[in-house]
Structure formats: C-alpha cells, structure tokens
Chain A
Amino acid sequence: NAGVTQTPKFRVLKTGQSMTLLCAQDMNHEYMYWYRQDPGMGLRLIHYSVGEGTTAKGEVPDGYNVSRLKKQNFLLGLESAAPSQTSVYFCASRTTDGYTFGSGTRLTVV
C-alpha cells in the first residue's frame, strides 16, 4: 500500500528473543496504529499513537512496547517473544480522509 511501509516483511524468532518492527509513513499523518491479525480473525489493536511522542494501549497490548520518536515512524517492540505472538502485524496511519494500511509483517515465534 502506497505511503505506509513495514519492515521486515517476514521474521522467525526463537522464544525469548526480542525484535522491533518498523512502520514508516510519508504522508505526514498524525495518527498511527499497530494491529495484529491471527488466522480466521479480524485485526486487533495493539497500540496506537495520536502524534509524535505519544503512545497509548489498545485492545491487546501485553508483551509489546511502542515508540513514536519521529512523526513518520512508529516502532513496535517485542521484549521477549512468545509463540502466542505468532501473527501477522499490520501498521496503519490515518487522516480525516481515512486509513492507509501497510502490507504486513508475518512473524513466527518458535
């Protein structure tokens, strides 16, 4: 999707390892979001940000941390990965015109 870039696209972690997922948008959007999508389910909100330097918890925040040091970047961190965090992670940004989603990061924790 144009405007929202997620890296990496795929990753395999061992239980207990840590990693950071990067979301970058070049549309100067204030609001950014991290969602996870498990098989057969809709997206669930992990954390979100309403502007540079701000973050807030969503529906399923446990085991994740986020940072928004720069307006264009929203980072999602896994401190100690668990198999339950195996999922596809989507980042989105928003203006009054609507939402733009990234193409996702597929994370497997073994």
Chain B
Amino acid sequence: GESVGLHLPTLSVQEGDNSIINCAYSNSASDYFIWYKQESGKGPQFIIDIRSNMDKRQGQRVTVLLNKTVKHLSLQIAATQPGDSAVYFCADGGGTSYGKLTFGQGTILTVHP
C-alpha cells in the first residue's frame, strides 16, 4: 500500500535554532499534505498544510516545502522554542476521495534551552 515515511526519527536542537523535519511520500497522486504536532497524551494538532499546486507555504514561524518531483516535503520551524518539543507527523491526504489520511512514523523534536 501507499506509505509516508520520515527520514529521521529524532531531532535535537538548541533553543533559537531553526529545525527542519523531512518526510517522503510514495503516492504520486497525492494532492494534499498536512503537518501535525503531537504532545504527550494529546491528539494531533494541526500546524500547516499544503496542496500539490504549491511548492511552498508559510505560517507563523513554520514553512512547508513540497517537492513533487522527488515526492518529498519538509517542515521548517524558525527560532525553535522549548514549547516546540513534540512529535511531528506528516500526513498524506491522498489523491482520491473521503479525506483518508496516511500518517508517517513521526519525528521526535527535542529543543534544549
């Protein structure tokens, strides 16, 4: 079946650094992707999304880049803060119906003060 994978399971940064979390997907028909943040004991929290007709989208301190040629997307967090420490998931919304999400394994981001 289709899968979404992450290159690195853990990422450790210093407060103030920029963080980059990567994700590869395999469904070439996928047209919608979402990044989620999940803190311990909580459900996924929406960060930012991007559709396949875009290469880049920016939010508050976050940027998502999409490279459809190599089926890769990344999440960049600027000026990372201790409160950003969490597990980050990319999710593939697929190219078909009903909005079923396929989640990647997750990257654990740890921000050191």
Q: Which of A11-19, A75-83, A93-101 forms part of the interface with chain B?
A: A93-101
Q: How many A-B residue pairs have CB under 8 A?
A: 56
Q: Choose from B34, B44, B46 the contact partner of A90 (Cβ within 8 Å).
A: B44
Q: Choose from A1, A31, A90 the contact partner of B98 (Cβ within 8 Å).
A: A31
B51 in contact (CB, < 8 A): no
Contacts of B49 in A (CB 8 A): 98
Size range of the chain A interface in the assembly: 20 to 34
Q: Is the CB of B98 within 8 A of A41?
A: no
Question: Chain A interface secondary structure, helix, strand, loop or mixed?
Answer: strand
Contacts of A90 in B (CB 8 A): 43-44
Contacts of A58 in B (CB 8 A): 100
Q: Which of B12-20, B60-68, B102-110 forms part of the interface with chain A?
A: B102-110
Q: What does the 1/0 interface line of B87-113 toward A look like (CB < 8 Å)?
A: 001010000001111111110000000
Residues of A that sit less than 8 Å from B by CB: 1, 31, 33, 35, 40-45, 48, 50, 56, 58-59, 90, 92, 94, 98-99, 101-104
Residues of B that sit less than 8 Å from A by CB: 1, 4, 34, 41-46, 49, 89, 91, 98-106
